[in-house]
Structure 1
Amino acid sequence: MESIYDQILGTLNAGFPFAALHIALALPDVCATLELPPGAKAKANVKARYNTWFNKYLAENYTLITGFDLFALRNGLLHNGQFGHQDFPFERVIFFVNRIGFHNNIINGALQLDTYKFCEDVIDAAKHWQSDHVSDRNVASNMAKLVQYYPHGFPPYVLNVEVIT
């Protein structure tokens, strides 16, 4: 999981907030899916799992949106390049790229979030989730299959070359 956290922060710090948002919005789904029993269908109940994870790990800091709203942001961005859905309670979503102090508020019908703060909050929530599941057998089993970045290869398949597998 650390490599995912590093990827989010690294893309932010390298000036790629759009990429960081993609990863951060997917992270609750990744965590919730890791809890499934091995062999379970990951595509079943995705929205409900995402909402449950949000309610447990992020809702306290994001009272203006629901887990279903965040799931809509995730789906819209990852699949359509848009935020929200037709029943979304905001006219617009604005992620500020520069830390200017606006975060988690609504102005003129637009939800405003600070990209850095949002990504940091999602990472903190994922770390909290991770500590809650440190001895979870499903998580441990599924973690071995998690796509990750390997800077020195992935023996015995590839050596001395950066890979993602």
Structure 2
Amino acid sequence: MEGFFGGLGDALDEQNWHAALVMALTLPDICGKADAPGGRSGQRYAAWFDRHVGSRYKHRIGAGREEVIFLSGNDCYALRCALLHEGSTDTSTHSAREALSRFHFCTPGQFNNGLHCIQINDALVLMVDEFARDVLDAARAWWASLTPGARQAAADRSIALHDTDNISI
């Protein structure tokens, strides 16, 4: 898992926003599979996102302090599918979506203006760096909370990169 975490951290440090976004949208898949190996990918993804990242995208707004979910696990999964399979942020035709049909990602820019977690009708505006860091921080906290046995079982199911100078398969 450290390779995935490091890859996302490096993408953020290098301001490689597309790579950071792809990694951030992939981590809940990887973590969800490690957390609950059975079941369907979309259900695992949404459950993991809601449990570990979702609170960062729930806010109490208005005079009545009504709780509003700006980004659910299902909407994030629909975004993951749209981006990874189509290179798009349009989720309007994805069956997993709940409330959102489009996403707009912004980069920090020279003045670091923040347009994060702003919903306009059925579109959500997110800062790519904040979103990616939220997922990365949640994934790291989740990983640290696992028992050594659970971490080892997840590592055993995960991809292994082999050094060609010292390969042993």
Q: Give yes or no for TM over 0.5.
A: yes
State yes or no: 1:134 paired with 2:147. yes
Matching of residues 74-93 of structure 1 within 5 Å: 74-83=80-89, 84-86=91-93, 88=97, 89-93=99-103
Separation in 2, partners of 1:85, 1:128: 32
Alpha-carbon distance, 1:121 to partner:
0.5
The letter of the residue matching 1:24 is A
CA deviations 1:70-129 (Å, max 9, x no partner) are: 000111111111122426433531111124211111135431111111111101110121
State yes or no: 1:46 paired with 2:41. yes
Q: TM-score, normalised by structure 2?
A: 0.77
Matching of residues 28-43 of structure 1 within 5 Å: 28-36=28-36
State yes or no: 1:71 paired with 2:77. yes
> Where do 5+ consecutive residues of structure 2 fail to align?
59-69
Matching of residues 149-160 of structure 1 within 5 Å: 153=163, 156-157=166-167
Match of 2:118 in 1: 105
Match of 1:161 in 2: none
123-132 or 102-111: which moved more? Answer: 102-111
Aligned length, in residue pairs: 151
Identity score, percent:
28
The letter of the residue matching 1:141 is A
Separation in 1, partners of 2:161, 2:128: 23
Separation in 1, partners of 2:159, 2:138: 20
Report if the CA contact (8 A) 1:47-1:71 is conserved.
Answer: yes
The letter of the residue matching 1:18 is H
